[in-house]
Each structure stands twice: as structure tokens, then as C-alpha cells.
Structure 1
Amino acid sequence: MILLRPLLFSILGVLPGLSEIPDWGEWRGPTRDGQIHKGAKAWPETLGDENFKKQWSVDLAEGYSSPIAVENRVFTVETSDKKNEVVRAFDRGTGEQLWESSWKGSMMVPFYAAKNGSWVRSTPACDGKLLYVGGMRDVLVALDVQSGDVKWRVDFPEEAGTQRPQFGFVCSPLLGEDYLYVQAGSALRKIRKSDGKTMWKTLEDDRAMFGEAFSSPIWATIGGRKQIVVQTRMLLAGVSPENGEVLWSTPVKAFRGMNILTPTPVGDHVFTASYGGGTFWYEIDSDDESQSVTELWNDKLEGNMSSPLVIDGKVYLHGRDKRFHCIDPGEKKVLWSTKNIYGDYWSMVANGNRILALDDRGTLMLIEADAGEFKLVNELEVSARPTWAHASVCGNEVLVRDLKGLTSYRWE
């Protein structure tokens, strides 16, 4: 049963300057590649207390879901008392809570994942009208952004007869014009926004260990063909958004299917890295009728959970070894690796040649992207609690979700 507690239905006035701040409505931003919006002003040369000021902060229950911001609202998801999943909407300028919606939906994850908690993981997506939220027990819920009212709800194990995923619903929904694309119900699915109906499904795998994906899909145009690049627990593939046809695919080696990070299209190539498999660089060949994939390079450097950035053709990756690396996939070289060891996870956002990286230990770092060496400009502790959720960076607004709270900063 779904519990809804509207707290405030009126739209609060937008604070001066807030209307100029762009949205961050999906996993890793509007283009899902960790790149700040085009035309953004350059970030300040330093990161410090004098120019990085807290605007507001709210306490929450545990969660790994990243905050998203659309128009005058910020949305986040949490797991309360190990029983319920709760979605909250806050005023973007003041942090005042506008509404919340909740449902029973918690579960315990197994094995190595249990040490970090069984909190909600999927980052929602918002198109300005509806908020699409993935619940741990493989449910997808659409909420009205103004009121929090539930518009539709799909329980994939009940409706599709699939197994509940051992590690929960992890994939973050990908927005299309009239449809969503998400790995849920043991497949990649095209879902109609208006009612939650599955229009097609592909790349099905209902095995308990390898069924539900960890990775999130991304749009790409490869060989002139618009497609969804998606990584299952076992495969990397390009899929037609129209009919679900698999345009190309290749196995990706990983320990127990731990293909976690978001795949990275670069022109007609795709970069990825896996836990237990290494770093991979693929070329996608196209002719008039079909596409095929060729592995050009496989390096022993392993990825883990941190999705990489591409700047000037170089890939910047936080690896399983907890070091930061610069890779030139075209030259098939790891250019440099840091001597310092960092946390288990980084979320990263790029603006030109600057990287804003949030370590899971609560440290925010400003880095200058340089193919010759690692250049840390400076760093700032933003939380004493773990910060596993991806940072959201909208213009000069930075949203940091730590394990038990959400804080809005303004970069002056």
C-alpha cells in the first residue's frame, strides 16, 4: 500500500538567479556522461570555504540514490527504518520540504554488498511532469512532480513473473521523449511514460546471480544510428530504441557479472571497465545493413563502480585499486596513475578541463585534467558521513547527498 503525505502543494517563488540554473534531471546529468551543460561558465580557480557556501541542509534516512534537480525542485530517495522507501521533494532555493511519498519496499542485499547497507540505489529521472523512481524490490513508480501523487506503479516480479533481484533495482532510468528505457524485470525495457506499459524487452536474463543489471544505459549515435548503449551483467550492446533490436553486442569479462559503471561511447568506439575483467576499448563497424563490434584493447587495469569522464579524447577513471588514472584508449596506453589511494568510489563532473570529484569519504576535489600528470587543485571536506550518491552540479549549484542528509552548496 502506498502512503502519501502532501506537505505543500503550492509552487514557491523562485529565488533570484535560480531560474538561470540548469536542470540535472537524470543519472550523471542531462547527457548522462558527467559533463556539465554546454555554455556553462568556467568554474572558480579554487575550491574553498570562501567561495563554496552552504545554502541549506536537510536530514534524511539512508540512501545511495543521487539527488536530481528540475526547475524549482530537488528530489531524493531514501530507505526508512529498513521498511519503507521514501521520495521527498524540496524547494530548490530554501530546502523546504514540499511533499513526500512512500511505500513498503526494503530488502537485504547479500554477500559483499551487505557491508555497505541495503539502501535504495537507483537514481530517479524527471521530465518536468513525472518523476520515475526505481524501488529496490524491482518496482518502478511514476509520481506527479507537483503533488507527489502516484500516477502508476509497476511491480515487475508480480506482473512479469521475474525473480526479485538479489541486489535490488540498481539501474537508473534513461529518459526518451515519450518512453523510458531501464534494466528491470530481468531485461532492458522500453516503458511508456503515460502508463508504465512495457513496449518491448530485450537482453533478457532471469538467472538469480546474473539477472538484474548494475549498469545504467546511455544514448549514443554510432555509425549514424541513434541507439542505446547498455551494459548487462554479461554483455555490452547497442540497441535500437524503436524496436529493441540488438544492433551489436559482445561479452564483457567480469567477476560474477560485476559490470557496474556506465559504458562510455566515444565517436564510433565504446570504453568500459569491469571488476575482475579489466579495461576494454571497442570499435563499432557499420555498413548499410548492420553493425559489428571488435575489441581493440584490453588492459589489466580494472574498473569498479565509478563511471569515467572523457576530456579531449582521454579517459579519466577511478579504478578498483582506489587510484585515479588517465587513459589514452586510441594509443592503448595508461598515461598515468596516482600514487595516492582514495576511497572505494568517486562521482565526477567535468566542465572544460576541470573535474569536480566527490570521494565516498566525503571529500570534494577540484582537479585539472592533464594528460601529463595528476593535478589536484585543492580539496574540501563536505561531509563526515559516506558520500556514495553521485554529486549533482547545475551551474554554480552543487548538491551533495551523504548517507543521511542532503546539502545544497553555491559556488560563488
Structure 2
Amino acid sequence: QGGMNGSAFSSPTIEMINGKPQLVAQTREELVGLGWANGEKLWGVKIPAFRGMNILTPVRYGDSFFTSSYGGGSFLYDLAGEKIKQEYSWNNTIQAYMSSPVVLENHVYMHLRNQRLICLNLRNGETAWTSQPFGKYWSLITDGKRILGLDQKGILYLINGTPEALEILSKKKVSNTETWAHLAINNGQMYIRSLDKLICYTLKTKNNSSKKGTPVSSLSGSE
């Protein structure tokens, strides 16, 4: 089907569930798990959203999955064996938009429909902190301690991953045109796709060496 019932926005992920690989995907209507060998639908749960706008990619949290939809709210679903429970563990009215969240320990960080950043406690869905509105879109990536966030204006933010408060450590203009594609990092290189070019930056630490998984203190790059 085309139009509003056409292809989904969310990207699928490969997850080990009950010792077996599954392809976990969020369609316009459901969060589903598919058998890796044959594509058989193993489980599914309805995710409410305005006109099927389930856009972000759900994230794994232990034996649970977190998702949030435009017009629907935020949900945490627990696994039971190789399937997901039909009743959510918790939900609230907080609505994400296009940006996929990142998980650090027991908290999830994401950009919302109202253009705010938020930190949610994944154990109970309570808000740890929320920011003032800024940015129509954020691409988020983490090394497990800090978060890199790229907004659509081409500004890259380095954020301390703490539930205490939003702590922006530094920011840098990395593109003169809008940046709506997701950040990509590989072997100390960061790739940014703007409207008119592909930009590569080298991530450097304080000792001026490029190391995978080390918090960034400076950038050097070329278009």
C-alpha cells in the first residue's frame, strides 16, 4: 500500500532474544520480532501513532524495548522468553519525533516532538530532566559515557551523559548547510552528510590521538 500506509520510517535491528537472533522492527502500526531464518512473525504489539508516524528506531534495555511515537507517547515493553509481553511495563504521554534515542545505564536520552531534549528513567518512565526547545532534529550517538548530538543546523554538541541535568560540554559548527542524516563514526572518523556534501572529521582526544570510544575534545576535518 502507498500513501500513509506505505513503507515504515524506522530502521530494523538484529537482537539476540532468548539465545536466538531476531530482526526487530517498528512498522507504522506495530513493534514486531521476526525469525532470522525465515522472516516469520514471532510477536507483535500495537504502537499508537498519528497517521502511522512511528519514526524512531526502538532501543534495547536489558530484557525490554523502549519506543516513543508521534501522537502516541512513550512505552517500555518487557520480553517473556522469545516474545514480548502484550501489556507495557509503563507508558507516558511524552512524544518523540524523528530522532532515535540512546541508552546510558538506566536512562534514555532523546529529542522530542516539542523540540526539547529529555532524559527518562527507564525503570519507571519518570522524567529526570528536560531542556528548553532547540533544534528541529537531533542525531544522537554515545560511547556509553557522553553523547554526541548533531542538530539540523549543522551544530555538533558534546553532552555529558548524566541524569542530574543537561550538561553541554562543548559545541561546534560542523556544516554550513542543514544536516538531517544520522551521524556515523568508524575507527576515529566521524561522517556527516549535509544537504550538499559528505564531511569527514577526525575525533581527537586531549593527548591529540584518535581513539575509538574515547570522549571527544577536538575535531579536524575536510569536505
**Contact conserved, 2:44 with 2:84, CA < 8 A, in 1?**
no
Counterpart residue number, 1:276 = 71
Cα deviation for residue 294 of structure 1 reads 2.5
Q: Pick from 389, 399, 405: which aligns with 2:181?
A: 389
**Contact conserved, 1:368 with 1:376, CA < 8 A, in 2?**
yes
SS at match of 1:293: coil
Q: Pick from 150, 172, 193: which aligns with 1:401?
A: 193
Identity across matched positions, percent: 39
Q: Is there any run of 5+ residues in structure 1 with no aligned partner, and where?
A: 1-205
2:160 is aligned with what amino acid?
E
Alpha-carbon distance in structure 1 between the residues aligned to 2:34 and 2:142: 27
Counterpart residue number, 2:96 = 303
Give the greater-gyration-radius structure (CA).
1
SS at match of 2:51: helix
Counterpart residue number, 1:410 = 202
2:22 is aligned with what amino acid?
Q
SS at match of 2:88: strand
Alpha-carbon distance in structure 2 between the residues aligned to 1:238 and 1:346: 27
- Report how many residues are paired: 204
SS at match of 1:233: coil
Q: Pick from 15, 35, 57: which aligns with 1:262?
A: 57
**Contact conserved, 1:273 with 1:279, CA < 8 A, in 2?**
yes
Structure 1 residue runs of 4+, over 3 Å off? 290-293
Give yes or no for the alignment of 1:375 onto 2:167.
yes
Alpha-carbon distance in structure 2 between the residues aligned to 1:338 and 1:261: 20
Question: Compared with structure 1, are the counterparts of its residues 291 and 364 closer, same or farther at alpha carbon in structure 2 (3 Å cutoff)?
Answer: closer
Give yes or no for the alignment of 1:251 onto 2:46.
yes
Q: What are the Cα deviations for residues 199-246 of structure 1, in whole angstroms up to 9, with x where unaligned?
A: xxxxxxx35421211111001122333211100000111111112222
TM alignment of 1:10-409, pairs within 5 A: 206=1, 208-286=3-81, 292-339=85-132, 341-409=133-201
Alpha-carbon distance in structure 1 between the residues aligned to 2:55 and 2:20: 25
Cα deviation for residue 291 of structure 1 reads 5.4
Alpha-carbon distance in structure 2 between the residues aligned to 1:342 and 1:304: 14
Alpha-carbon distance in structure 2 between the residues aligned to 1:286 and 1:231: 20
Cα deviation for residue 268 of structure 1 reads 1.6
SS at match of 1:209: helix
2:8 is aligned with what amino acid?
A
**Contact conserved, 1:255 with 1:277, CA < 8 A, in 2?**
yes
**Contact conserved, 1:284 with 1:293, CA < 8 A, in 2?**
no
Higher relative contact order (CA 8 A, sep 6+): 1
Alpha-carbon distance in structure 2 between the residues aligned to 1:224 and 1:376: 39
Q: What are the Cα deviations for residues 40-70 of structure 1, in whole angstroms up to 9, with x where unaligned?
A: xxxxxxxxxxxxxxxxxxxxxxxxxxxxxxx
SS at match of 1:374: coil
Cα RMSD over matched residues? 1.5
**Contact conserved, 2:77 with 2:85, CA < 8 A, in 1?**
no
